[in-house]
Structure formats: C-alpha cells, structure tokens
C-alpha cells in the first residue's frame, strides 16, 4: 500500500468517526434551541394571559396561535415557577400525525384568586430534525472524501517527491559500481535528514567495500610472501642430511605452513565471494565440469577403496562463474571422499533440477544447521581447515541455489537445488518492473 | 641454463637462487624493475622468473617491454595474486607459465624444465636416466626397453621425480603437483604413498633399479646413486 493511500485511509477513518459524533451534537443543540424558543414563547403567553385576567378580560381558547387554558386553582406555587412537560401526542390517529407538544403551566395570584394557566404548542419532532441533518451529512461526507483523496494525491506528488526520488536512487544503488549517492536538498526537514543519513551510510558502505577489497588483495600478497619464504627455507633445509627427529620437526612445520596457506587462501576466496566479485550472466554447462571432476578423483576413490556411482545428465546449464564451478565440485566431492570409511560408497546425481552428492560416513557430531559455519568441522578430521563447506554455501547463496544437508540412514546427503532459469529470470523481470512502477506514482 | 630471477623479496629470492644453484642453473637476481630491464637489455637468459608486484612498477610492464623489444626468453610468472583474471592477463601478455605463491621448489623446477624443453630444445620429448626413458608426448614410460603400463598420474609423478633428481620431495609438494590448487584440502596423503608404491612396483617388475627411496618423515627422493 502506498504511503499516500495509508494517509488517505487514516483521514477517512477519522472523518467517519467525527461525523456521527458531530451530528449527535448538532441534533442535540438544534432540539435544545427549538425547545428553549418554544418554552420562552409559552411563558410569555402565560404572562400575557395573566395580565389579561388581571384586567378582568376573559381568556379565549387560543392566544398567539397556542392553546391556552386558565382556571382558578387551589394550590399555590411561587410566581416564577413553571412546570414544563414535553410529550408526544396522538393528535389525529387517522393521519398518523404523531406530534410533540410542549406545555408550560404556571400559577398566578390574580385579584386574590389563584389561577393556573397552562399553554401548549406543537414543536418539530426529532425525526424531522434528523431528516434534515441526514442530508447535510451525506453532502459533507461526499465533499470531504473527494477533497481528501484529491489533496492527498496532490500533496504526495509535491511533498513526497524527494522521498520517492531517494527510494528510486537506493533501488539502483550498486556497491560494485563504487559511485556514491547524491541527493537534492528538499524543503522537508525529515527528508533532508533521511537523505543525509542514507548518503552517509552508502558512502560508508562504498568506502568499506573498497577497503575490504584492498585488504583481501593485500592480505593475499602480504601473507603469501612470508609463507613462501618459510616454505622454501624448509624445503632447502630438508635437502641436508638430517636426523630422524629433525625430519619429523621439519615435516610438522611444513604441515603447519601448508595449513596456514590453505586457510589464508580460503579466507581470501570467501571475502572475494562476499564482495560479489564473481557475478556472472552466462550459462555454464556444469555437466562437463562434473564429469571432469569425477574423473580426476577416480583414482583417489580407488585408492581409498570406495565405490562410486554417478548419473550425470547431459548439458545441465546453470548460471555460475567458471572460477567457482571447480571449487564447488572439488570441495563437495573432496569432502565426500574425506568423510568416508574404507569400503564406503559415494553417489553423485546431477540433473537440471539439482546436484545431489551422498556418501557413507560416520554420524556427524555437530547439528546439521551448523554444518555450513566457518571453522566447524567433524572431530574425525583434524587436518582439514573446516572452511570448504562455508565456501560452497557462499557460492550457492550468491547464485541463488539452495543447499541442504541431511544425514539419513548412514548417508551424508548434500543437495543443491538450481533455480529453474526460465521462470526465475521472468519473475525477476516482473519484480523489477513492479518495483519501479511503485515508485513512479 | 641461465635464469634471471626478478623478485623484490630478498629472503625468497635467496631461497630460490640457492635452490636453483643446486640444480645447476646459473641464477641472477634483480630486486627491482630498473635493474631487471638493464639486465634484460644486456644479457641473454634461458628463462625469466618474474614477480608481478615490484617496488618500482608492475612486472607486466617488463613482460610488455620484452615482447616489444624482441627479447625472446621464456617467462614464468611467480605471483601472489592467484585469481583467475590475474592468471589470464599474465598469460595473454605473453608469459609461458604462471605459478602462484607460495609454491613448492620442486614444482618450480618441474615447470622451469618444462618451459625449457618446449622453448629451447624444440620440444624434445624424451627424458631419460639410465634405463628409464619417458616420452612426454605420448606419455609412455620405458624401462630396459619394456613399456610400463602406467596411469597418467603415475606418469606425471615419475616425471616429477626425474626432473627433481636427488631432491627430497615432500608429500605435500607431490600432492600439489599432481592434484593442483584445490585438491590440497584433502586431508591425508595416503594416495601419494599409493602412487609411489605402484611406480616402484612397476619399475621393479621391469627389472629396473628402484631409485625412489623414502626419506623418513619427509617424503621421497629419486636417488641417482642407487645401483
């Protein structure tokens, strides 16, 4: 729902709430005023009747258009006491004319005789007032709604314009283009604050992105060089005639250096993945790579005494960068071999919907949802870095694949579901058009 | 064989030159671009080992200079940059091979030999030592005139041994040579042991001398002094 629609709805709600209250108040005050006027008039009539009686003239049945009755009374009341009654009378049942009548009774001492004078008149009934009110309410509502809707549109066009332009710019913002956002000053304080904040935030994001990129590039170089030195020196050292114990020490050092090197390389790769450096627009025939990888690992599988079966469909095309497909397959199949026991089994299935790798192996100690976290590894394999699966996960997330791990009947099963390329691209197209339409107004 | 090493890191340069000197190469070292260009203009080298990131410039400029000024020495790039793009740029600029740091010394040696064979010996495809002969075009290994039935990996491994004679080859370096960059996350090197065992068995079966020995704790060595 658009912001302007929300405001309109709120206004309409408030209007619809106020109008009935308003009409009750109007009704009460109109009725009160009518009654008051009638009562004042009737009191006045009574006074005149009393004066007439005092002059010794008789009082007729009607005076000034009101029915009047004057009779001597036993009771005496103070001179300024008026008894006011208000009742609906059935004047003429045939005509169904239900009328409301107000009567005013007063007591007067005229020439030593106490008189009771009653006068009455018919006044406007509440239904009649309401009928008048109803019409005015209808008109009021129509005009109000029309004006609210119209002014809301106009106001949002004028007042919210900077907001929509900010939104549009944000939607088109891309970190990798490294262009910072610039906003026009607006006359609204809040929008200026928003723009200022967004500008600061995106500037920071761009700066951070550039720094991170620089860091990951430098980290590779700065760490690899000393590692290369250590490794080369160790290799030179191992050329000398060394004793058994020294050999073990050198070997341990070599292993540690190797491990450091792998961690460094994996982390640099991960940060580059997170920077979305491997974006790709082209389809890649993953079947070919899968077959190659399976072939590469073939003798390794034989050496470890594993059996393998694979069903790789021809020409499975997915959106994936060439540099990543090897990493993905190597990590997954490598894992399947590593976390396996002698005589175990691996099965690989690739078709246009998914890639599934399942292998036998000991039950995992950690809960499955922690599988893709960094440096999380099974206790069985001390020498692994524990970062391979998080790289795989990152690659999947980036390319819109869903990856799932489960342990079932002694098998580790990793499934990667590919988005169906046709529908997803269409959906995306629709989505962007929808977004832009929304901001167009 | 005369090699020019262009590498700004003194420590690494000394390791590499020490290693190559043992191998019988004549190795000259330049620590910066200016010096390297001077040397390239003045002398002929059989191979240039080139680091891309240099204190006073980019190694690719040296490469461009060499291609423009008709310096025909083959170039092997040594770089810490290991992204695919960097490799592609390096190779397209005219380098013959690209090795990412940190590398194993025997790997560098094997690659150097391969470049040298391709460029200088007009693709001589035979590597021989005593009774063992390898044809690197047809991937055939002969011992005393009998052809061995070898897998591609075993052939590559035997070639690696013969290029790096009398050197201790660690299991890691063998794995990296045979399996490339991303298979080194494989935890154990049992498969290296298996391959070595197979090669030794096959050579012995053809009445060849078993030159490959185990170096305790470190790895293996192709020992030419064995009889």
User: pLDDT tens-digit profile of B113-157?
Assistant: 888 887 766 666 788 888 899 888 888 898 988 888 988 888 989
> In chain A, which among 23-82 make CB contacts under 8 A with chain B?
none
| CB contact A344 to B (< 8 Å) | no
List CB contacts (< 8 A) between B167 and chain A: 239
| Residues in Cβ contact with A62 at an 8 Å cutoff, skipping those fewer than 6 apart | A68
Say yes or no for a CB contact (<8 Å) between B187 and A383. Answer: yes
Which residue, among B87, B101, B188, B219, would best test binding to A if mutated, counting the most A CBs under 10 Å from its CB?
B101
Task: Name the residue among B128, B121, B163, B162 with its Cα closest to residue B145.
Answer: B128
- Kindly determine whether residue B153 and residue A231, on different chains, have CB atoms separated by under 8 Å: no
Nearest to A398 by CA among A150, A156, A176, A79: A176
Q: Residue A144 pairs with which residues in a beta bridge?
A: none
Token duo for residue A304: 């470890």
Question: How many angstroms away from the CA of A184 is the closest CA of chain B?
Answer: 39
Distance CA B156, CA A144 (A): 88
Q: What angle do CA A286, A289, A291 make, to 5 degrees?
A: 110
Give A265's contacts in chain B (Cβ within 8 Å): 82
Q: What's the gap in Å between the CA of A186 and the closest CA on chain B?
A: 44
Question: Across the interface, which of B102, B151, B188 has its CB nearest the CB of A224?
Answer: B102
- From the CA of A385, how many Å to the nearest CA of chain B? 8
Please give the Cα distance from B102 to A231 (Å, whole number): 7
Q: Which of A219, A227, A230, A231 would you mutate first to test chain B, the one with the most B CBs within 10 A?
A: A231
- The answer to whether the CB atoms of A251 and B170 lie below 8 A apart is yes
Interface of A with B in 157-186 (CB under 8 A): none
Q: What is the largest CA-CA distance in chain B?
A: 56
Give, for A141, the enclosing helix (H) or strand (E).
helix A126-159
Task: Give the pTM.
Answer: 0.60
A321 backbone dihedrals φ, ψ, rounded to 5°: -75, 140
Tell me the C-alpha distance between B101 and B115, whole Å.
Answer: 18
Q: Which residues contact B140 (CB under 8 A, 6 or more apart)?
A: B134, B147
- Closest of A329, A247, A338, A266 to residue A295, by C-alpha: A329
A193 touches chain B (CB under 8 A): no
Tell me whether A378 touches chain B (CB under 8 Å): no
* pLDDT, tens only, B151-175: 888 898 999 998 888 888 888 888 8
Where is B60: in which H helix or E strand?
helix B59-68
The pLDDT value given to residue A438 = 43
- ω before A391 within 30° of 0 (cis)? no
Residue pointed to by tokens 């390389």: A265
Are B1 and B47 in contact by the 8 Å Cβ rule? The answer is yes
Q: What is the DSSP string of B20-47?
A: HHHTT-EEEEESSHHHHHHHHHH---SE
Contact: A384, B187; criterion CB under 8 Å: yes
Tokens matching residue A356: 């599934």
Q: By CB neighbour count within 10 A (0-12 exposed, 13-18 middle, 19+ buried), where does A117 fall?
A: buried
Question: For chain A, how many helices (H) and strands (E)?
Answer: 9, 12
pLDDT band at B30 (very low <50, low <70, confident <90, very high): very high
φ and ψ at residue A265, rounded to 5 degrees: -65, -40
Nearest CA to CA, how far is A421 from chain B (Å)?
26
Token pair 């389809």: residue: A283
pLDDT in tens, chain A (441 residues): 788 888 888 888 888 898 889 888 988 998 889 888 988 888 888 888 888 888 878 777 787 778 888 888 777 677 667 777 777 666 655 555 667 788 888 888 877 788 888 888 888 777 788 888 888 888 888 998 889 888 888 888 888 888 888 888 888 887 777 778 888 888 888 888 989 999 999 999 888 888 887 887 777 777 878 888 898 888 888 888 778 788 888 888 888 888 888 888 887 787 777 777 777 778 888 898 899 888 878 877 887 888 999 899 888 888 888 878 888 888 888 888 888 888 899 999 998 889 999 999 888 877 777 778 777 665 555 556 677 888 888 888 888 889 998 888 889 999 999 887 544 444 444 444 344 444 444
**ipTM reported for the complex, 2 dp:** 0.76
CA–CA distances in Å: residue B87 to residues B62, B84, B90: 16, 5, 5
User: Distance, in angstroms, between A418 CA and closest chain B CA?
Assistant: 23
Mean pLDDT of B207-219: 87
Q: A303, B167: Cβ pair inside 8 Å? A: no
Q: Which residue of A has its CA nearest to B100?
A: A224
pLDDT in tens, B57-102: 888 889 888 888 888 888 999 887 766 777 888 888 888 899 888 8
Q: Which of B198, B199, B218 to mutate to test the interface with A (most CBs of A within 10 A)?
A: B218
Give yes or no for residue B184 having a pLDDT over 60.
no
**Cβ atoms A339, A360 nearer than 8 A:** no
Beta carbons of B102 and A337 less than 8 Å apart: no
Rounded Cα–Cα distance for residues B220 and A401 (Å): 43
Taking any CB pair shorter than 8 Å as contact, residues of chain B touching chain A are 9, 11-12, 15-16, 18-19, 22, 53, 80-84, 100-106, 151, 153, 167-168, 170, 172-173, 179, 182-188, 190-191, 194-195, 215-219
What pLDDT is attached to residue B187? 55
Print the SS3 string covering A299-338: HHHHHCCCEEEEEECCCCEEECCHHHHHHHHHHHHHHHHH
């Amino acid at each position: 729902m658009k912001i302007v629609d929300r405001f309109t709805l709120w206004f309409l709600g408030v209007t619809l709430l106020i109008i009935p209250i308003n009409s009750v108040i109007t009704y009460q005050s109109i009725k009160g005023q009518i009654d008051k006027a009638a009562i004042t008039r009737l009191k006045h009539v009574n006074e005149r009747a009393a004066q007439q009686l005092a002059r010794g003239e008789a009082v007729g049945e009607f005076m000034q258009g009101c029915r009047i009755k004057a009779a001597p009374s036993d009771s005496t009341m103070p001179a300024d006491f008026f008894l006011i009654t208000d009742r609906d009378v059935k004047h003429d049942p045939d005509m169904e004319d239900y009328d409301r009548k107000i009567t005013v009774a007063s007591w007067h001492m005229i020439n030593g005789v106490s008189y009771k004078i009653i006068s009455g008149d018919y006044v406007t009934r509440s239904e009649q007032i309401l009928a008048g009110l109803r019409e005015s309410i209808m008109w009021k509502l129509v005009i109000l709604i029309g004006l609210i809707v119209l002014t809301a549109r106009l106001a949002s066009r004028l007042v919210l314009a900077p907001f929509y332009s900010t939104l549009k710019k944000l939607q088109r913002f891309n970190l990798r283009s490294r262009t910072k956002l610039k906003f026009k000053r607006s006359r609204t304080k809040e929008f200026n604050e928003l723009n200022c904040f967004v500008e600061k935030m995106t500037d920071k994001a761009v700066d951070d992105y550039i720094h991170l990129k620089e860091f990951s590039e430098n980290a590779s170089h700065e760490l690899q060089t000393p590692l290369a030195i250590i490794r080369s020196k160790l290799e030179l050292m191992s050329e000398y005639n060394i004793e058994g114990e020294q050999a073990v020490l050198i070997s341990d050092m070599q292993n540690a250096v190797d491990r450091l090197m792998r961690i460094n390389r994996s982390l640099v790769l991960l940060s580059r993945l997170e920077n979305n450096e491997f974006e790709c627009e082209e389809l890649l025939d993953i079947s070919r790579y899968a077959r190659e990888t399976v072939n590469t690992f073939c003798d390794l599988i034989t050496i470890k005494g594993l059996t393998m079966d694979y069903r790789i469909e021809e020409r499975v095309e997915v959106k994936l960068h060439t540099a990543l497909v090897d990493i993905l397959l190597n990590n997954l199949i490598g894992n399947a071999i590593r976390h396996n026991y002698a005589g175990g089994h691996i099965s690989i299935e690739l078709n246009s919907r998914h890639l599934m790798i399942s292998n036998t192996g000991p039950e995992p100690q950690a809960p499955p949802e922690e599988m893709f976290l960094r440096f999380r590894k099974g206790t069985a394999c001390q020498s692994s870095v524990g970062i391979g699966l998080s790289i795989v996960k990152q690659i999947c997330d980036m390319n819109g694949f869903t990856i799932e791990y489960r342990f079932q009947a002694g098998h580790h099963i990793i499934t990667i579901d590919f988005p169906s390329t046709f529908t997803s691209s269409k959906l995306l197209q629709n989505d962007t058009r929808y977004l832009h339409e929304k901001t167009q107004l | 064989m005369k090699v020019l090493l262009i590498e700004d890191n003194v420590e690494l340069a000394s390791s590499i030159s020490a290693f190559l000197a043992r191998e019988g190469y004549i190795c000259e070292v330049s620590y910066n671009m200016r010096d390297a260009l001077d040397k390239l203009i003045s002398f002929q080298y059989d191979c240039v080992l080139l680091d891309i990131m240099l204190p006073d410039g980019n190694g690719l400029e040296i490469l461009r200079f060499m291609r423009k000024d008709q310096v025909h020495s083959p170039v092997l790039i040594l770089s810490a940059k290991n992204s695919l793009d960097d490799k592609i740029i390096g190779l397209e600029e005219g380098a013959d091979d690209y090795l990412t740091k940190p590398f194993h010394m025997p790997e560098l040696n094997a690659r150097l030999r391969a470049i040298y064979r391709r460029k200088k010996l007009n693709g001589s495809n035979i590597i021989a030592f005593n009774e063992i002969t390898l044809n690197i075009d047809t991937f055939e290994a002969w011992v005393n005139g009998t052809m061995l039935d070898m897998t591609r990996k075993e052939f590559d491994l035997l070639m690696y041994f013969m290029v790096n004679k009398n050197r201790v080859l660690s299991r890691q370096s063998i794995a990296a040579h045979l399996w490339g960059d991303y298979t080194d996350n494989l935890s154990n090197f049992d498969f290296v042991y298996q391959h070595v065992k197979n090669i030794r068995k096959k050579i012995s079966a053809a009445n060849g001398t078993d030159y490959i020995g185990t170096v305790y704790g470190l790895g293996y060595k192709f020992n030419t002094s064995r009889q």
